[in-house]
Amino acid sequence: MKTSLKQFLVPMMVLAFLIGIGACTPTENQSNDTLFTAQELFPEPPRPEGQTDVIELRVDPIETVRIAFIGVGSRGTGAVRRYTFLEGVKIVALCDLVPENLEKAQNILVEKGLPPADTYSGTEDWKKVCEREDVDLVYVCTHWDLHTPIAVYAMEQGKHVATEVPAAISIDECWQLVNTAEKTRRHCMQLENCNYDFFELATLNMAREGLLGEIVHAEGAYIHDLRKLNFNTEDGYWDMWRLRHLENRNANLYPTHGFGPLCHIMNIHRGDKMEYLVSLSSDQFGMTAYAEQKFGKDSDYAKRDYKKGDMSTTLIKTHKGKSILIQHDVTSPRPYSRKHMLSGTKGFVQKWPIRGIALDPDAHSFMSDEEMEELLAKYEHPITKEVGELARKVGGHGGMDFTMDYRLIYCLRNGLPLDQDVYDAAEWSAIIELSEKSIENQSMPVKVPDFTRGSWEKVNSVTYH
């Protein structure tokens, strides 16, 4: 009797266990690929009553977009310069703590024969700027800590916002952006310029046209030796803000450059969504080695306990069963790489460290450079066709920065949805804290919140209107 009960119970327990695994499987296509349910460390807060999503948000066209720049350091002055080449804009205010930076930005306007902008230099003056009635767009180029506070405040004052990357540095900030954009019905765009790189745009076009088949796997990265800038005590980043982040957090701190183009190509929150991620980081060696060499072994900089491991690697699984890898390393002596790689059922493309395209049935090797250039010309994105020539002249990372500016202003002037919405800003920035939690817990799978709260299938592909 005892034996027969055991004979019955054991298979039943095994069956129940297997059903349990099936039930917690997070992706649509892959059934028994994990023994663990991703940890829902960041449950989605319910949408406040009366609020709806801002997918494909349209607002009234703005004939002349009146802009206030907050933060005119290295990146901000570059943006001011580029905007002097755009039609239909007026720069009305400049705000920064450093008088020389303000002067430099103001001179750009004056030299172009444009009216000078009002200037602000107090620590909290960005609030006054956001409160001005004659501002349509607040353009944020400060250090990371102020991106979300300024963006939220600006939207609350009825302004549209464009903010440098990353738009947010915590999941809580991501939700603040989403909730404020939904409540105020204002645009909140993260200024992810890499989405407008000519090669990346061509690959978006290739993917849309089906040249690569179903995109199954993609890889992106931000690998940039920033040691010299980060440890520049004289005239590097304001208040050495970037080193502070490297000192305090072990995460992919700057995910959006490699990730943004991939998310648009893979239709994230436009028919697919991220389900969970795992992250792993090497330990930190590079900053200590560099600080020892630059400041001496006994220096304060050499003795600091830098948390950020040199190389962090994150793997993401999507609802439709696709995978994405992203990496971050700004503390190793390596050639620059913003890896952009797509692998589909019909072909493969990559950029960084070298460009290459391989198509079925000859995908064992890259096609010749001549064939690749021909293909890139054939699939040149309509936006590049429209503005590429001027963008190359104005510059900014080879023209992609100006293309981004052009698109933002074009959409605002024509009452069109922006190319990048607040959910993009939240999803791409969220990698920071999600990767941090996974790294902290031996690469534990962490569930990615759905910032659209169920609206991720409302449209089924990215449209640059």
Whichever of 73 and 261 has its CB closer to ligand NAD, that residue is 73
Q: CB 187 → ligand NAD: shortest distance, Å?
A: 18
Which pair of tokens denotes residue 280? 């792993």
Q: CB 360 → ligand NAD: shortest distance, Å?
A: 34
Round to whole Å and give the CA distance between 242 and 401. 21
Nearest-CB residue for ligand NAD: 73
> Buried b vs exposed e over 181-207: b needs ≥16 C-beta within 10 Å?
bbbbebbbbbbbbbbbbbbbbbbbbbb
Please check whether residue 330 is in contact with residue 338, taking contact to mean a CB–CB distance below 8 angstroms. no
Whichever of 247 and 292 has its CB closer to ligand NAD, that residue is 247
Cα of first residue to Cα of last residue in the chain, in angstroms, is 72
Give the binding range for ligand NAD (CB under 6 A) out of 143-151, 176-184, 244-252, 408-416: 143-151
Q: CB 166 → ligand NAD: shortest distance, Å?
A: 7
**Cis peptide leading into residue 255 (ω within 30°):** no
Q: CB 314 → ligand NAD: shortest distance, Å?
A: 18
- Please, which contacts does 41-45 make with residues 24 or more away whose CB atoms are closer than 8 Å? 41/437, 41/446, 41/447, 42/171, 42/433, 42/434, 42/446, 42/447, 42/449, 43/449, 44/449, 44/450, 44/451, 44/453, 45/175, 45/179
Which pair of tokens denotes residue 253? 């701190």
Round to whole Å and give the CA distance between 203 and 379. 8
Q: Find the binder of ligand NAD among 106, 119, 142, 429 (CB under 6 A).
A: 142
Q: Find the binder of ligand NAD among 70, 137, 201, 268 (CB under 6 A).
A: 70
Q: CB 164 → ligand NAD: shortest distance, Å?
A: 4
Round to whole Å and give the CA distance between 212 and 204. 10
DSSP annotation of 43 reads P
Q: Find the binder of ligand NAD among 27, 37, 39, 74 (CB under 6 A).
A: 74
Give the binding range for ligand NAD (CB under 6 A) out of 51-59, 90-98, 333-341, 413-421: 90-98
Whichever of 238 and 348 has its CB closer to ligand NAD, that residue is 238
Give the binding range for ligand NAD (CB under 6 A) out of 93-101, 169-177, 202-210, 387-395: 93-101
**CA dist list (Å): 109 to 24, 112, 210, 377:** 58, 5, 45, 36
Among positions 403-462, residues that touch ligand NAD (CB under 6 A) are none
Q: Find the binder of ligand NAD among 42, 94, 101, 388 (CB under 6 A).
A: 101
Q: Find the binder of ligand NAD among 4, 32, 123, 365 (CB under 6 A).
A: 123
Whichever of 352 and 366 has its CB closer to ligand NAD, that residue is 352
Q: Find the binder of ligand NAD among 26, 73, 261, 399 (CB under 6 A).
A: 73
Among positions 221-260, residues that touch ligand NAD (CB under 6 A) are 237-238
Give the binding range for ligand NAD (CB under 6 A) out of 130-138, 140-148, 307-315, 366-374: 140-148
141: contact with ligand NAD by CB under 6 A: yes
Q: CB 85 → ligand NAD: shortest distance, Å?
A: 18
Round to whole Å and give the CA distance between 332 and 178. 35
Q: CB 419 → ligand NAD: shortest distance, Å?
A: 15
Close Cβ partners of 220 (under 8 Å, ≥ 6 residues apart):
257, 258, 259, 261, 262, 324, 325, 326, 327, 338, 339, 340, 341
71: contact with ligand NAD by CB under 6 A: yes
Close Cβ partners of 87 (under 8 Å, ≥ 6 residues apart):
none
68: contact with ligand NAD by CB under 6 A: no
Give the binding range for ligand NAD (CB under 6 A) out of 82-90, 94-102, 283-291, 411-419: 94-102
Which pair of tokens denotes residue 313? 């690697």
Q: Find the binder of ligand NAD among 42, 69, 83, 126 (CB under 6 A).
A: 126
The count of C-alpha atoms lying within 13 angstroms of the C-alpha of 106, restricted to the half-sphere facing its C-beta, is 16
Among positions 166-225, residues that touch ligand NAD (CB under 6 A) are 191, 193
Phi-psi region of 292 (alpha: psi -120 to 50; beta: other; left: phi over 0): alpha
Residue 139's identity, in one-letter code, is Y
Dihedral pair phi/psi, residue 251, rounded to 5°: -160, 170
Q: CB 342 → ligand NAD: shortest distance, Å?
A: 21
Dihedral pair phi/psi, residue 348, rounded to 5°: -145, 135
Close Cβ partners of 419 (under 8 Å, ≥ 6 residues apart):
189, 195, 407, 408, 411, 462, 464, 465
Which pair of tokens denotes residue 295? 């400041």
Q: CB 420 → ligand NAD: shortest distance, Å?
A: 12
Q: Find the binder of ligand NAD among 57, 68, 95, 316 (CB under 6 A).
A: 95
Q: CB 212 → ligand NAD: shortest distance, Å?
A: 26
Among positions 348-367, residues that touch ligand NAD (CB under 6 A) are none
Q: Which residues bind ligand NAD (CB under 6 A)?
A: 70-76, 95-98, 101, 123, 126, 141-144, 146, 164-165, 191, 193, 237-238
